[in-house]
Structure formats: C-alpha cells, structure tokens
Copies of this chain bind each other. A is one copy, B any other.
C-alpha cells in the first residue's frame, strides 16, 4: 500500500509540475493570442488534479495507511497529503467550485479597482471572498480559539496570533523609535546615484554574474524577465527565477534577483530523495521568505558583500558607479524613510507594513471589522505606524492583490521570514565567525552550505518551529531582528 500511495502522490505531483511549466511559460513570453485556449488546458489539468486530490481512491489509500508503520519520509508525506485531502473534502464541492469562479472575478475586479483607484469597484467581491473564507474556517475548524489561527496555519504551520502579537510587539518597540530617530536625524544620504540610467543589457549581465557568485546552479535553473519577479520550483533540478529590469532604478533587478536567488537556493538544495514528491518544497512561506531575505538583506545589503561585489555593478554601469565610493553606495541602498507602498519599502520600515495588514486581518476574522471600513482603518494605521497617509486607495488599501484571491493569513510570513533570517544569522555567527571576511573575499559557499545543512536539505520534512529550534537552539524570537536593525541603523545614521 505504501508504494501505491507514493505512486499516487507522484502522479499528482506530475500534474502540478505540468501546470507549473505552463504557468512559467505564460508569465515569461507566451504569445498573447494563445492565452485564451491555454486557459482551457489549465482548466483540464487542474480539474484532473483536483479529482485526484479528492478521490475516494485516495481516501481509501489514506485510511489503510493509518494502520501501517511508515518510515519517516512516508509518514510526513502521509501527514501532508492527509491534511490537504481533509481540507478539500471538508468544503462542499459545489461551494468550492463557486469560490473558484468568484476568485477569478475578484482578482479582475481588484485589478480594475486599483487601476481606477476606486475601492468601491472591489468592495462587493471582497465582501464575498471574506464571507467564503469565514465559512471555510468553520468547515476546517477553529484553531486554539481563534479563527485567524486557522488561516495562519495554512501558510505557517503551528503559528498563532498569540505568538505573533508577542513577536510583532517586540519588533514594533524597536522599529518605531528607530524610524522616528532617523526622521529627526540631519544625516541624509545622497540617493541620486540610484536613479541614473543603467541599460537593461548591463543589468541582465550583472544579474547573471551575481547569481553565479551566490551559488545559483544554472544547470538546474534559468533567469528570465517578467513584470513581477518570482521563483518557481518545477522540480528539484529545475528551479527558475525571474527578475524585472527598470533602467531608472537598478535596485529592482539587483535586489529582486538576489531575493529570488535566496528562494531558489533553498529549493535547489533540498535532498534529492524528495524529488518528485510534494515534500520537495519549502517548510512554510515564512521559512521560504527567511532564505530570500537572508540573501537580499543580511547578505545583499551588507557592507562586506558589496566590498567585493560592487565591482560587478561598476563594470556594467561605469558612468553610474565608476566614481562613487562603495561607502556612498551602501548608504544610498540602505536609505530608510516611511513610505506608502509595501513592496518598495526599505528593510527597516517594511515590518510595519506587515503589522498593519496583520492587525486588519485579525480584526476581520477575530473581530467585527467590515470590508467597507477597510480604507479608513488602513489610512489611520498608516498614519499611526508610519506617520504618512495614503492620498488614494491605489496607494493605500488596494496596493496588494492578496485579499482579492483570499490569501488571508499570508502577510505575516513576510515579517516572520525576516525574523527567522536574523535568527539564522545569529546562529551562523557561532559556526562561521568570519562571515564578513568570507563575504569580502566573495567566498559565499560556506554560507550557503550552512543554510543547506540547517534548512534547505529538509524541504518540507520538518515544521518551521522544528527547523528554527533545531537549527538555532531556541524558538523563534524577535530579538535577533530587533538587534540587527538597531545596530545597523544606529551605525548608518550615527544615532
């Protein structure tokens, strides 16, 4: 029965992989006129995958496995598949189908509303999506007394609002005064160099060089261009990334590429024995983000890294960087200032954007915040946390697409990822005391190997809390990120 189970799971995974190839293709240059018919293909394969995921045959296999003694990997596989199976089966098929249709409409309405900066266009769909999610939570069951915990668990297993309240509280206590102090400081770096013209071909070449330096395996991946950068793991030997070239702001490509590279290194280094199984993926959204943010921030915004790698940018954009010393470059890329758009925020203010969203989501699912009140609440919270107020819905409540497709509970992963990343760094310092020296010499392999040892190799075999406890010797704490930010920004701004 175990082999039957594994074959069945591999078949599902093969459908997933086919859908991923098609998804990647649609994002990276599939011709416009073929997309409508391609959607039919996606529909056919998705329907078959859903049928496999919810079949009576799978139900029978799972119930027979209950009584068998399983090895560790098969046991974890069983748990993951069972969890998804139960979640799917708990929702009445008709309701799930209606929700799928609603989501497509809601995403389109959100896009339209954002374009016109008019929340009212999106509101009726958002209300419905929230209603569905609230009902789904009832079907799935309330976790530890909080409806929002049920949603959180989908992205970050075992995470709860109690834990988040504490983590975010501690972080907020560090960040808010820092942001204030920087705002009051007379020390303003010159950021004009960021916005000079950097030709796309040069950015592309620089991205390739950086990826090579970071240890990205081009025999198990490729770099392409998309409007929104992403990493996609097709299988463990095919982990692709995309980036975006803005000729007036190289940061989008350079830091985007480094970020996606962090995600890719994770999936490229999962143990090969998990290939073809759904365990060959990240342990959670938060752990995944811990890898991308480790590379983007801990390495990629660090002085020692650029001491060595700045030459790559100077080579590919000599007019822009040729006469700028690396110190000035570092101050510019670490410039911090409250801003309205999450994805453009600097690393210091970024967690505040997440806390705002987290609080709002909690109030929707655990409290009685209504969808129609979101723009007002949103703007008030921006004023409270960041001291600035959106002038319209597009730069406010409509900026992110997450709510349009019902991804409530996802946002905290971004901040959790940063906290995990800082904690990995603290633990790494014990094993690799010469971290900065290695970065300065461009020898990044030992850093990647440490992360592979503690995180990558396990894929989804371990839970996030297991990984962080076993890898760092303690449960997740906000302390390390708070320390990292405190030290770094006090120094940068001479506070």
User: Contact residues of A with B, CB < 8 Å?
Assistant: 10-11, 14-15, 17-18, 21-22, 24-25, 29-38, 40-41, 43-45, 48, 217-222, 234-238, 240, 275-276
Contacts and interface: CB of A to CB of B under 8 A. Distances in A.
Contact of A14 (B11, B44, B235): B44
Nearest to A220: B33
B220 A34 contact: yes
B237 A36 contact: yes
B31 A221 contact: yes
The interface residues of chain A, by DSSP majority, are classed as helix
A158 B40 CA distance: 34
Nearest to A24: B25
Nearest to A15: B44
Contacts of A11: 44
A10 B41 CA distance: 9
Contact of A22 (B18, B30, B31, B236): B18
A37 B219 contact: no
B41 A17 contact: yes
When all copies of this chain in the complex are counted, the total is 2
Given A14-B45, A17-B37, A18-B45, A30 B276 contact: no
A11 to B, nearest CB: 6
A217 B31 CA distance: 10
A37 B235 contact: yes
A18 B37 contact: no
Contacts of A218: 31
A18 B43 CA distance: 11
B237 A40 contact: no
Contact of A238 (B31, B221, B238, B240): B31
Contacts of A24: 25
A237 B44 contact: no
Contacts of A221: 31
Given A21-B21, A25-B21, A37-B237, A31 B276 contact: no
B14 A41 contact: yes
B25 A38 contact: no
A22 B45 CA distance: 13
15 contacts: A11-B44, A14-B40, A14-B44, A18-B18, A18-B45, A21-B25, A24-B25, A25-B25, A31-B218, A31-B238, A33-B220, A34-B220, A34-B234, A34-B235, A37-B238
Contacts of A32: 219-220, 237
A45 B45 CA distance: 9
Given A18-B22, A40-B14, A34 B238 contact: yes
Given A18-B22, A31-B221, 13 more contacts: A21-B21, A24-B25, A25-B25, A31-B222, A31-B240, A32-B219, A32-B220, A33-B217, A34-B234, A34-B237, A34-B238, A37-B238, A37-B275
Contacts of A17: 37-38, 41
A37 B276 contact: yes
Contacts of A237: 31-37
Given A14-B44, A33-B217, A33-B219, A235 B38 contact: yes
A240 to B, nearest CB: 8
A393 to B, nearest CB: 33
A238 B44 contact: no
Nearest to A16: B41
A240 B222 CA distance: 20
A55 to B, nearest CB: 14
A145 B38 CA distance: 44
A489 to B, nearest CB: 39
Contacts of A18: 18, 22, 41, 44-45
A332 to B, nearest CB: 33
Report the 3 A-B pairs with minimum CB-CB distance, sorted nearest first. A34-B238, A33-B237, A34-B237
A18 B41 CA distance: 7
* Residue picked from A10, A31, A43, A220, most chain B C-beta under 10 Å: A31
A219 B34 CA distance: 8
A40 B219 contact: no
Contacts of A48: 48
Contacts of A217: 33
Nearest to A10: B40
Nearest to A234: B34
A30 B25 CA distance: 11
Given A11-B44, A18-B18, A25-B25, A37 B222 contact: no
Contacts of A44: 11, 14-15, 18
A413 B48 CA distance: 38
